[in-house]
Amino acid sequence: MTKVLIIYASDYGSTQKMAEAVAAGVETVENAKAQILQAEDVKQEDLLASNAVIVGTPTHMGSPDWRIKQFIDQVCGPLWMKDALVGKVAAVFGTASGFGSSGGGSELTLLTLLSNFAELGMILIPLPKNTPGFAKAGLQWGPCARTGDENLTPIGVSDEKLEAARHHGANVARAAMALKDTSIFRA
C-alpha cells in the first residue's frame, strides 16, 4: 500500500474542499491510500509512515497560513536534522481570493512551501499544464483555486476548480508508488 498524507489549514472551508478533492484523486489509484490531517494535528510519526505528503494552504498576505509554517518548523524541522524525509515525495496546493486567475501572492505561497520540501530533500511533483482542469485552477506549482470574484467577493470553490486537484492527488500517488522502493539519494 502506498500512503499519501494530505495536510492542510483552512479557516472558511475552501482549502479543506481542495484537500478532499486531492484525497479523492489519490484514492482513484489502485493500492494508494489517502489520509487527511489538519496541520496542527500532524505528528512526526504520521510523516514517517507516509510515502508522500501533499500540503495545502490558503494564501495569507502572500505567504502560507501560520499553522502550516508551525507544522514546517516544529514537526518537519526536527526530521530535517535527521534527514528522515529525504527521498519521500512532496507536492502542494492552495487557494487565494485575490487578483489574477488564482490569487495575489499564490505563486509565492506555493513556491515557499516547495522550497521547504526541497530543504527536506523530498522529491517535488509539479502540476503539468496538460492536466485536466489546469486552466480553471492550476499553477505549475500545484492546483490553486481562486475563491473570490473580480470584486473579491467570496465565491468558494466550484466543482470545476477541483478537477486539477483530483488529478494532482492521483499524480502524486503514482509518483510515490513508483519511487517508494527505490533509493535515489544515497549518503
Ligand X SMILES: Cc1cc2nc3c(=O)[nH]c(=O)nc-3n(C[C@H](O)[C@H](O)[C@H](O)COP(=O)(O)O)c2cc1C
Interface contacts to ligand X, rule CB under 6 A: 10-16, 58-62, 95-98, 103-105, 147
Nearest Cα residue to 89 out of 162, 23, 164, 177 = 177
Compare residues 49 and 152 and give the one whose CB is closer to ligand X.
Answer: 152
Taking the least distance from each CB to ligand X, the nearer of 44 and 63 is: 63
Q: Residue type for 131, please? A: T
Nearest distance, CB of residue 2 and ligand X, angstroms: 27
Minimum CB–partner distance for residue 21 and ligand X (Å)? 13
C-alpha cell at 98: 485575490
Nearest CB to ligand X, comparing residues 52 and 68: 68
Closer Cβ to ligand X, 68 or 76, answer by number = 68
Report DSSP state, residue 55.
E
How deeply is 165 buried, as exposed, middle or buried, from its count of CB atoms within 10 A (0-12, 13-18, 19+)?
A: buried
Query: Which residue number places its CB atom closest to ligand X?
Result: 98
User: Which residue type, as a one-letter code, is found at position 29?
Assistant: V
Rounded distance between C-alpha atoms, residue 27 and residue 181, angstroms: 20
Least separation in angstroms between CB 150 and ligand X: 13
Nearest-approach distance from CB 180 to ligand X, in angstroms: 30
